[in-house]
């Protein structure tokens, strides 16, 4: 059974419960890795994600899809690989020669490789359709969707680089033999160049106040290098990479539940604790804040600003003046009108008959 302080390992693969959204917030329903795993190695036990070590084959196909980097494979770190990609002789990603399954990468990784290297990146997808890991077609679809998301962003910001795909089909490939050969290659060939990569992510995860996934940090650092050259940094359309929020002033009660449960501190209080800030650069779109908000004051908002994303600029969503309720004498966030809190208004409205005097009967 899973424990939130326990790191489960299966050969080369490990799952850290403390970084999983299912453990961060009890009602979160993230099941990306469960739906993606072709071997059924993940399951929910008592609402906690559990890794079944005997079923996991360490293919790494789920790693890039985890929004909080709770999944890792030993001897290969996609963050370190992406950060050092510009120094590689050939800009090719292939599970036959240089990487595990391309599912190990997220859209952020592809963008880091393209932006930092200043060149297009080639992805060998020629045998994804016949790969034994792609039995239900989900793995290939996920890889292609992440590449498409990265390319749409590059097109949006008018960059010439693209994430290209190689589609030439190979002949005489026996599926099981290909999988066994590829898996052994990963274990043997990647280790010799992974020590710096591994140390990079391990060091990041050991920082007590660092809640943002390293892939997002790398992307923001990459954006800092190009935002000065962009003609436009503000975009009105929605993005699969960057998320925006809005808080309704009249509905919000300033209870701070959204702040407490935000896994990346994208929502945080003002210095006087009477307002809420939101940082686009830290938001991973998990939806916890929207789900936990009892009055439904938090909603999605389209549009993103690359300057705000890259430099972690925060926007003040709401701010309240705290006044004393003239009924219960308790401070509450004032929104205009008579100085009476919502609780007292509700009580008076619902139980007014309790205060009817005898002479009024």
Q: Name the more confident of 89 and 198.
A: 89
Beta partners for residue 76, in sequence order: 73
Q: Are residues 66 and 151 in the same domain?
A: yes
Q: Residue 103 has which token pair?
A: 């599912």
| Predicted local distance difference test score (pLDDT) of residue 11 | 66
Q: Residues 119-140: pLDDT tens digits?
A: 999 999 998 999 999 988 999 9
Q: Which of 14-18, 36-40, 307-311, 332-336 has the least mean pLDDT?
A: 332-336
**pLDDT, mean of residues 158-172:** 82
Q: Are residues 149 and 263 in the same domain?
A: no
Q: Residues 30-84: pLDDT tens digits?
A: 999 999 999 999 999 888 899 998 899 889 999 999 999 999 988 789 999 999 9
Using an 8 Å Cβ cutoff, are 293 and 257 in contact? yes
Number of domains in the chain: 3
- Tell me the H-state helices in 169-296: 175-189, 195-206, 214-224, 257-261, 288-292
Write down the mean pLDDT value for the chain: 85
Q: Are residues 153 and 199 in the same domain?
A: yes
First to last CA, the chain: 64
Q: Are residues 173 and 26 in the same domain?
A: yes
Q: Are residues 247 and 308 in the same domain?
A: yes
Domain boundary among 224, 249, 265: 224
Domain boundary among 224, 250, 281: 224
**pLDDT, mean of residues 228-256:** 92
Q: Exposed, middle or buried by CB within 10 Å (0-12, 13-18, 19+), for 291?
A: middle
Q: Is residue 1 part of a domain?
A: no
Q: Is residue 16 part of a domain?
A: yes
Q: Is residue 41 part of a domain?
A: yes
Using an 8 Å Cβ cutoff, are 276 and 247 in contact? yes
For residue 338, give its domain range: 322-360
Q: Is residue 339 part of a domain?
A: yes
CA–CA distance from 116 to each of 35, 69, 83, 84 (Å)?
Answer: 32, 21, 8, 9
Q: 259 falls in which pLDDT band (50, 70, 90)?
A: very high
Q: Residues 171-197: pLDDT tens digits?
A: 544 544 555 554 555 445 444 545 555
d(CA 285, CA 287): 6
Q: Which of 154-163, 221-230, 304-313, 352-361 has the least mean pLDDT?
A: 352-361
Q: Exposed, middle or buried by CB within 10 Å (0-12, 13-18, 19+), for 135?
A: exposed
The CATH number given to whatever domain includes residue 287 is 3.30.70.20
Q: Tokens 């009055």 label which residue? A: 295
Q: 214 falls in which pLDDT band (50, 70, 90)?
A: very high
| Predicted local distance difference test score (pLDDT) of residue 289 | 95
């Amino acid at each position: 059974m899973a424990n939130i302080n326990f790191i489960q390992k299966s050969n080369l693969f490990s799952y850290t419960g403390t970084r999983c959204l299912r453990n961060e917030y009890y009602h979160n329903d993230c099941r990306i890795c469960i739906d993606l795993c072709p071997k059924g190695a993940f399951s929910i036990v008592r609402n906690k994600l559990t890794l079944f070590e005997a079923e996991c084959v360490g293919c790494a196909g789920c790693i890039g899809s985890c929004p909080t980097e709770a999944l890792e494979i030993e001897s290969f770190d996609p963050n370190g690989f992406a950060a050092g990609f510009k120094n590689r002789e050939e800009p090719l990603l292939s599970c036959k020669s240089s990487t595990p399954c391309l599912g190990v990468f997220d859209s952020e990784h592809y963008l880091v490789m393209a932006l930092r290297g200043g060149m297009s990146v080639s992805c060998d997808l020629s045998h994804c359709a016949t790969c034994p890991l792609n039995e239900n077609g989900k793995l290939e679809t996920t890889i292609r969707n992440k590449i498409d998301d990265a390319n749409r962003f590059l097109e949006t910001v008018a960059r010439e680089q693209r994430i290209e795909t190689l589609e030439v089909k190979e002949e005489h490939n026996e599926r099981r033999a290909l999988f066994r050969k590829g898996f052994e290659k990963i274990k043997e060939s990647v280790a010799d160049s992974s020590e710096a990569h591994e140390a990079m992510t391990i060091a990041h995860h050991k920082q007590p106040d660092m809640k943002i996934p390293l892939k997002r940090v790398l992307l923001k650092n990459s954006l800092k290098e190009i935002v000065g050259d962009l003609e436009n940094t503000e975009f009105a359309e929605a993005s699969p990479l960057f998320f925006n929020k809005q808080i309704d002033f009249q509905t919000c009660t300033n209870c701070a539940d959204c702040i407490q449960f935000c896994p990346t501190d994208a929502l945080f209080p003002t210095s006087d604790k009477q307002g809420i800030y939101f940082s686009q650069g830290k938001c991973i779109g998990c939806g916890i804040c929207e789900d936990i908000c009892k009055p439904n004051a938090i909603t999605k908002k389209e549009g993103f600003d690359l300057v705000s994303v890259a430099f972690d600029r925060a926007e003040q969503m709401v701010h309240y003046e705290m006044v004393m309720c003239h009924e219960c004498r308790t401070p509450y966030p004032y929104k205009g009108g008579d100085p009476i809190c919502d609780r007292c208004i509700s009580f008076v409205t619902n139980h007014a008959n309790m205060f009817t005097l005898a002479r009024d009967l």
